[in-house]
Amino acid sequence: MNIDLNKIAGLDDEKCLDELINFIRVQVSDEENPIALMANVSAFIKAYVRDLNWAGFYIVRDEGLILGPFQGLPACTRLSFDKGVCAKAYRDREIVKVDDVGEFKDHIVCDSNSKSELVIPIFNEEDLVCLIDLDSPKPARFTELELEKFREIGQILENTIYL
């Protein structure tokens, strides 16, 4: 595994996301430990997606969403099911994209630099097991391209993370 940051800098966003998808496919086939897998997936995302200040996982537990492996500043360790962007993705069982977190009622601030956010639910069969949370300091950072590619990443990670 060799991440060449100079190469990444020369790629457009679509190529970066395609490379990211390839790396995640390899990780999923090489590693079945959920902590190792989530740790490297968040590191790959942070390396391959430009303009992110936070990328990581929240794990679904009976009592709420618990912080998992991530890249970025320290974050809220526990989120309830009824407040914030991650909780909305949990309740709706769908990707949530927020272009301006200031406009999102109940947004939970972990890093005040975050301006836009994308949350992707990950399933094992019917069970929602964890969520990937991405924060950007740029408003409206996430476009249709990111939605399409992260929907694919969500599918690749389906039935791979057993916690």
25-28 long-range Cβ contacts below 8 angstroms, 24+ apart? 25/156, 26/1, 28/156, 28/157, 28/160
Residue placing its CB nearer to ligand SME in the complex, 117 or 146:
117
Smallest gap from residue 41 Cβ to ligand SME (A):
15
Smallest gap from residue 81 Cβ to ligand SME (A):
11
Q: Which residues of the chain form contacts with ligand SME (CB under 6 A)?
A: 54, 75-76, 79, 84-87, 107-108, 110, 114, 117, 133, 135
Up-side HSE of residue 96: CA atoms within 13 Å toward CB? 23
Instruction: Count CB atoms within 10 A of the CB of residue 146.
Output: 21
Residue placing its CB nearer to ligand SME in the complex, 138 or 159:
138
Smallest gap from residue 157 Cβ to ligand SME (A):
18
Smallest gap from residue 95 Cβ to ligand SME (A):
14
Smallest gap from residue 152 Cβ to ligand SME (A):
22
Residue placing its CB nearer to ligand SME in the complex, 137 or 154:
137
Q: Cα(43)–Cα(113) distance, rounded to whole angstroms?
A: 19
By Cβ distance, which residue is nearest to ligand SME?
A: 84
Residue placing its CB nearer to ligand SME in the complex, 113 or 159:
113
Residue placing its CB nearer to ligand SME in the complex, 15 or 61:
61
